[in-house]
Structure 1
Amino acid sequence: MTPLMNVLLFLVVCLMTGVYVGANSLDKRASSANNTDEDNYYNIYTKIDALEKDLKKLETRLQKKKKLLRQVLQSVIDIDSNLGLADNSLEKQRQQTSKKNAVGFTTRLQDKTYSSSTSIIQGSEILYNGGNAYNGTVFTCPSPGLYLFHVTLLTTSTYGTIWIYKNSQKLTEAYAGNIPPQYKGVSASAAVWLDVGDQVYLRPRKSLYVYGLSAFTGAKVN
């Protein structure tokens, strides 16, 4: 074989070898590209699956926190309700204490004729007697303070007069005037400071008929 033929044969072999190597290189690159695309594909779905799992975990945690928040809110509501009940209970106790300590009375006066100015006008039906300070005739002060008394007199007596007394002191009077005998209504009030043991009661100025619907009231106002 001539040297020229050897050279040509070498070149042909080299070219064929280069084409094969190039083809192998392209195949490898294509395969590598295909593998990269598949890997990216599977990586994306793997990440999506992971995100979905994380989302489910977050939703589970959120539900637990909502449940805990509802429990805390219900506890707050229960505590508030209990405090309200306690406040109501304290208010009721305070009212009961105030009612127990209230001092005052109202009585209808006895249907009776009194002939002497030294008589003490008597009560008949006692409608209220807070503090039990009124005995049906005389009010005896159980605690110091400002008191208000009021008497309403129904009478047929001419010049009929009724006095509110504190101990031996005259306070105010209800005067029926000199109208001929017929039913007349008069009244009188007195605000007075009383100390423990002071007594308040009613007396006629002279002969007096007291109709049974007359009334006497007293109460501690301060």
Structure 2
Amino acid sequence: MDSPTNMTPFVKCLIFAVVCLIIGGNCGDHSLDRRTNIAKRSDKNTYYNIYSKINAMEKDLKNLETKLLKRTKMLRQVLQSVIEMDSNLGLSDENLKKEGKLASKKNAIGFTTRLEQTTYVGSSSIIRGNFILYNGGNAYNGTVFTCPSPGLYLFHVSLCTRTKYGGIWIYKNSQKLTIAYAGYVDPQYNGASVSAAVWLDVGDQVYLRAHTSSMLVDNNSVFTGIRVN
């Protein structure tokens, strides 16, 4: 075999071309393999990223559903509590109304009594009640009304008598207020009535006295008193 120094230029060129082809092929193969691996890795990364995002979105959706269920449950509990409170408030309002009615009834001050049928001798005699129809506050004892609480009071007396010049005075303490005067009625029965509005303080007393020294009071006569304000 000829030594390299004895080879012809043609042979040298042919050998150089072969070497270049071999080297270029190897480099190309390596470059192609590298590009293929990179592409595969890129495809894998893209695939991984898409499914990772889908998984993350599914987790977020489940979390939202869980939170929504919890909030719905809380809202139902709150609504139930509101309904129960409203129901209790309704009951409380009814109880308060009942208690208010009972309290107002208990605190109502007033009385009505039919007067005792008798002949009173002397104008200083206090005319008595015979049958008490109502006695709110228990301030009327059958003869005298004693004011338990300050305020404006209204008193009314209705007299039925056959005494000549008969009449009944409404008194506040020792003061004459108004008179129910029957006038000249002998010998028949006649009627008369009168009212008096008066301010009373605690302890003031209101009662009835006969106008004449001798007077018959029929049991259809009535004495009423009530606090109006």
TM bin, normalised by shorter chain, reads 0.7 to 0.9
Which of the pair has more CA radius of gyration?
2
Query: SS of the residue aligned with 2:66?
Result: helix
1:171 shift after superposition: 0.6
Q: 1:7 to 1:88 in 2, by over 3 A?
A: same
Partner of 1:141: 147
1:197 shift after superposition: 4.2
1:164 shift after superposition: 0.8
Partner of 2:225: 218
TM-score by length of 2: 0.71
Contact 1:108-1:126 at 8 Å conserved across structures: yes
Deviations 1:103-159 (A, max 9, x none): 32222233x253545243322321222332212122233455443212233556665
Over aligned residue pairs, what C-alpha RMSD do you find? 3.8
Partner of 1:21: 27
TM-score by length of 1: 0.72
1:198 shift after superposition: 3.5
Deviations 1:41-72 (A, max 9, x none): 12211121122113322432443345445556
Contact 1:153-1:210 at 8 Å conserved across structures: yes
Contact 1:161-1:208 at 8 Å conserved across structures: no
Partner of 1:7: 13
Contact 2:160-2:189 at 8 Å conserved across structures: no
Query: SS of the residue aligned with 2:31?
Result: helix
1:193 shift after superposition: 3.5
Q: 1:10 to 1:197 in 2, by over 3 A?
A: closer
Count of residues paired in the alignment: 219
Partner of 1:114: 119
For residues 1-222 of structure 1, the aligned pairs below 5 Å read 2-68=8-74, 71=77, 99-110=105-116, 112=117, 114=119, 116=121, 118=123, 119-154=125-160, 159-176=165-182, 181=188, 184=191, 186-206=192-212, 207-212=215-220, 214-222=221-229
1:160 shift after superposition: 4.5
Gaps of 5+ in 2: 1-6
